[in-house]
Amino acid sequence: MSLTVNSNASTAPFVVAFADGDMSMSDLMGGKGANLAEMTRIGLPVPHGFTITTAACRHYLTLGREPDDLDHQVGIHLAQLESTTGRRLGNPADPLLVSVRSGAKRSMPGMMETVLNVGLTDAVIPGLVARGGERFAWDCYRRLVQMYGRTVLGVDGELFEVALVAARREAGVLSDTELDAASLKKLTTDFRRTLVNEVGEDLPQDPREQIRRTIDAVFSSWNVPRAMTYRKHQGIGDDAGTAVNIVEMVYGNTGPDSGSGVCFTRDPASGEPGVYGDYLPNAQGEDVVNGSRTPLPLQDLSDHAPAVYEQLMGHLRTLETHYRDLCDVEFTVEDGTLWILQTRVGKRSPAAAFTVASAMVSEGLIDLDEALRRVDGYQLESLLHPRFMSAEGELLLATGLAASPGAAVGEVVFDAQKAVSQAAEGRNVVLMRTETSADDVGGMLAAVAIVTARGGRTSHAAVVARGIGRTCVAGVDGLVIDLDARTAVCPGGSIKEGDTISVDGTTGKIFRGALAVRQSQVAELLEKQADDGSGAEQPEPVAGSLAAAVLQLLAHADHRRLIGVRANAETSPDALRARRLGAEGIGLCRTEHMLLGERAVLVEHMVLGDESDRAAALADIEELAHTDFLDILRAMDGLPVVVRLLDPPLHEFLPDLTELSVEVALNNAPGGTPDPQAARRLAGVRRWHEGNPMLGLRGVRLLTVVPELIEAQVRALATATLELKTAGMDPHPELMVPLVADPAELSAATARMRGAIESACVADGATLRIPIGVMIELPRAALTADRLALDADFFSFGTNDLTQTTWGMSRDDAEGAFLAEYRESGLLDVDPFMTLDDVGVGRLVRIAVEEGRRARPDLGLGVCGEHAGDPISIRRLVSIGVDYVSCSPPRVPIARLEGGRAVVLAESQATP
Ligand code: PEP
Ligand code: MG
């Protein structure tokens, strides 16, 4: 890892007193230091102290030593601290003791080091006894030796724990808090002996040396492995460094009028107003959080010490009003005097994020833009899906990729037909397959959840499941299905067909048995709320409720966003649902999904059949497509519907080569009956068989080889449109050509499409203009965008295939093969199939947008890959400047929210 002392390090101060800082200085003072400074500034009772800045830490980590002047500056601030507190370091009668705490800009709870009671030596024990008694003094001392030994001298912490266990056993007590002064005094001596035995040195008896060495140890703790791992996981850069806060010690364990607590200014789980927290009398802060004693509800403090309680309530109100946010606060009471030790903006659940943001708008603390900045699409997504009440203690069968969120319970079935027949009997089924293909879609629709052994987050199973709103776990490690025996082996045990399992598509976990499910009230209300054109009265959410908060912020996002939001859908129920959720059109209607299940045979006949098979199949395809298009255009009346020409990876529609080979071999074996038709099919499947179908005869290539398919589909769309127009409706179809690599492919397809529209119009005596666009899903298409734009009304970026082809990674296999390992080992932070890879794929999109628009300024620009529903990707796409995103219907509210957020976030970044 490389660290740089930033160029203004020489001008950045190495030490800042709390009295001289404020909350805007978190880069330099860390979050904790900046908040302590801010609270000091607004007059809250914060113990005195100062911060050694991140600039000093960076210097230390880069050069391996403190800045030359640091010791001197720390000396000056310590002297200042002595004068403001009236206590002196090393004064036997009333010593100044300090805490030395880490505190980076972004909170890394428990990852770095803290040492308390620094400055305690043999000489000052009498002063401490006077402050809190004999037991208190020795307890402070043994804690210092323990923390200093571990943190500064690197002694194994286990050695102290073992000694503590022995001391408790000897004293016949269960907890450390029951150890008396004599035991603690002996422990202190034993601990110091441990230091000498382990590292050959004792606790320094010079308070300043203790402080100096502790500062260095806290600096170094920036690079302990757990802190580095945490940073990687949280996406925190390695070169910020930590600040070190030196704060006068105040004690909550000096007697019955003392104590410590932690609290939130509102409920961080629900966002409800009111103060939530815990309090422990006669205890230090760490006793409250480490669970060694059961804390009391904070309200108990009002009986015990009403004046202190009132003071605290006042400070909490001040903090909320000042920070205009939910705050998380630590406090200590020493002999009836209240001290606020720390505050920060509190972490909260997704529900609380929405409720608090909306409530603070009503209270006039923040405006709607700020409220929008404080929530995000990931939080909204988690609020829209059913959840399991609890999975604790349940039997985990297996874990896979969380491919489509939700929580579903059903009986396992191993094939699509069974899924359909069982579902028809009213049973909830989970379709479990090695992987899914077009043949399985009927079963997927019938199932409540889909589980596959293979495949990534953009595999067939994942994409289809998200599109139709089914829970899905894909690429399950260690899942082996035995179709003949109708059983499956999972890492957590075996299951047989008919067994009930619970599938958590949000975590990727699969459990045996039926877990209790909680439905999402927010999702239900969102759908009911939207005007579905039926004229029915819409239910009002309860004021102040979570649902009301979500609706309020979504409405504001709609008001602010510039980007359009469409949905990927191919059936009228999905289209209607998308419309209820706020979609402004269909951005991708995958026509191959209209030819699934029983209809798949038509594609087979088109490809493998003779002349008359082909003609019959083509006529059927055209007729079915006509009906389907009528349905979807009706559902989206008045809004655009982008119909993509057929783009099936051919293997999904043809019989399986291996199965067919076995069938023909058995037919031809002694005792079998040769079947010429099966043999002909096998010859055909062999001819079209591809080693790499995802890069094979797909999209425009298939349309070039079988051009009649273009004409049939386009005619069906044109005649459906004309029919609806005649009926007084307002259809807005658009056409789109998939997997184009070269402008010549597009020109040829476009000419045929225009011809087909023309012929439909001539037959009808009407005129019709249907915009024609091209999908940009191959790097070559992006790089020849200026030429493609000449023949296209719009581009739609198919970022699934564009990611696959840019990275050269199969969207079906990469996750199981190596992507997961890449992410675990830190080679990749995120799955590029989920979150748009800005520097690679994003760059191609940018090039295509710029060059396409230059060639044709009125070029429309959309995105219809999975990234169009991913919050981070949406923000990136907004900054690239596309006109709309098109995502699966359940993610439409997420795209609306993030579309609005992208605008307000960009504005706040632009404002200095
Ligand atoms: C894409 O590739 O991003 C896309 C939308 O098309 P499909 O997922 O159907 O290949
Ligand atoms: Mg594609």
262 close to 329: Cβ distance less than 8 angstroms: yes
Q: Which of 203, 207, 74 is nearest to 151 (CA)?
A: 203
- Give the number of C-alpha atoms closer than 13 A to the C-alpha of residue 440, restricted to the C-beta side: 24
Which helix (H) or strand (E) covers residue 604, if one does? helix 600-608
Span of 38-47, 526-535, 650-659 with lowest mean pLDDT: 526-535
The pLDDT > 70 percentage for the chain reads 96
Ligand positioned closest to the Cα atom of 462:
1
- Is 471's pLDDT higher than 60? yes
Which ligand places an atom closest to the C-alpha of 802?
Answer: 1
**pLDDT over 60 (residue 494):** yes
Please give the pLDDT value at position 86.
Answer: 96
Q: Is the pLDDT of residue 1 over 60?
A: no
Over residues 683-693, the mean pLDDT reads 86
Whether 163 shows a pLDDT value over 80: the answer reads yes
Known catalytic membership, residue 864:
yes
Residue from 774, 775, 805, 870 to probe ligand 1 pocket by mutation (most atoms less than 8 Å from CB): 775
Ligand 1 atom nearest 800 alpha carbon? 3
Q: Are 396 and 492 in contact (CB under 8 A)?
A: yes
Count of beta carbons in the 10 Å neighbourhood of residue 208: 16
Q: Which residues contact 52 (CB under 8 A, 6 or more apart)?
A: 14, 15, 70, 74, 215, 243, 244, 245, 246
Beta-strand relationship, 327-334 and 471-474: unpaired
Q: Average pLDDT of 594-611?
A: 83
Interval 337-370: pLDDT, tens = 999 999 999 888 888 999 999 999 999 999 999 9
Radius of gyration in angstroms for the set of CA atoms belonging to the chain, rounded to a whole number: 34
Enter the tokens of residue 861: 């620009």
Task: Kindly identify the ligand whose nearest atom is closest to the C-alpha of 863.
Answer: 1
**Residue to probe by mutation, ligand 1, list 594, 645, 775, 800, most atoms within 8 Å of CB:** 800
Around ligand 1, the residues with Cβ closer than 6 Å are: 463, 588, 590, 647, 777, 798-801, 864-865
Rounded Cα distance between 164 and 854, Å, is 74
Residue 824: which pLDDT band, with cuts at 50, 70 and 90? confident
Q: Nearest CA to 350 among 289, 290, 405? A: 405
Q: Which residue has a Cα nearest atom 9 of ligand 1?
A: 590
**Dist. CA 411 → ligand 1 center (Å):** 31
Catalytic status, residue 559: no
Least trusted range by pLDDT, from 205-219, 256-270, 721-735: 256-270
Range of lowest pLDDT (196-210, 388-402, 882-896): 388-402
Distance 847 CA to ligand 1 centre (A): 19
Could you report the per-residue pLDDT of 266-318, keeping only the tens digit for each?
988 888 888 888 888 988 887 776 555 677 888 889 988 999 999 999 999 99
Give pLDDT, residue 911: 59
Name which residue leads in pLDDT, 614 or 125: 125
Lowest mean pLDDT among 10-14, 62-66, 572-576, 580-584: 10-14
- Active-site position among 57, 263, 864, 887: 864
Whole-number pLDDT of residue 469: 74
Write the pLDDT tens digit of every residue in 105-152: 988 777 788 899 999 999 999 999 999 999 999 999 999 999 999 999
Ligand 2 center to residue 703 CA distance, Å? 15
Q: Distance from the CA of 732 to the center of ligand 2, in angstroms?
A: 23
| 464 Cα: distance to centroid of ligand 1 (angstroms) | 11
Residue located nearest, by CA, to atom 10 of ligand 1:
801
pLDDT in tens, 551-572: 999 999 999 999 999 999 999 9
Distance 697 CA to ligand 2 centre (A): 13
Query: At 726, is the pLDDT very low, low, confident or very high (cuts 50, 70, 90)?
Result: very high
pLDDT confidence tier of residue 435, bands split at 50, 70 and 90: confident
Closest to 343 in 3D by CA, of 327, 324, 323, 332: 327
What pTM value is reported for the model? 0.82
Ligand with minimal distance to 570 CA:
1
How far apart CA 422 and CA 424 sit, in angstroms, is 5
Contact yes or no for 253/284 (Cβ under 8 A): yes
pLDDT score for 531: 55
* Nearest CA-CA partner of 271 in 553, 59, 686, 54: 553
The long-range contacts involving 811-814, CB below 8 angstroms and separated by at least 24 positions, are 811/456, 811/458, 811/459, 811/694, 812/435, 812/454, 812/455, 812/456, 812/458, 812/459, 812/460, 812/694, 813/454, 813/455, 813/456, 814/456
Tell me which DSSP letter residue 86 carries: S
- Annotated active-site residue in 460, 593, 605, 651: 460
pLDDT at residue 2, as a whole number: 34
Q: Which numbered atom of ligand 1 lies nearest the CA of 864?
A: 5
Q: Which of 106, 46, 50 is nearest to 234 (CA)?
A: 106
- CA dist 431 and 510 (Å) reads 13
Of 243-247, 334-338, 442-446, 862-866, the poorest mean pLDDT is in 442-446
Nearest CA to ligand 1 atom 8: 800
Most informative mutation of 810, 864, 886 for ligand 1 (most atoms within 8 A of CB): 864
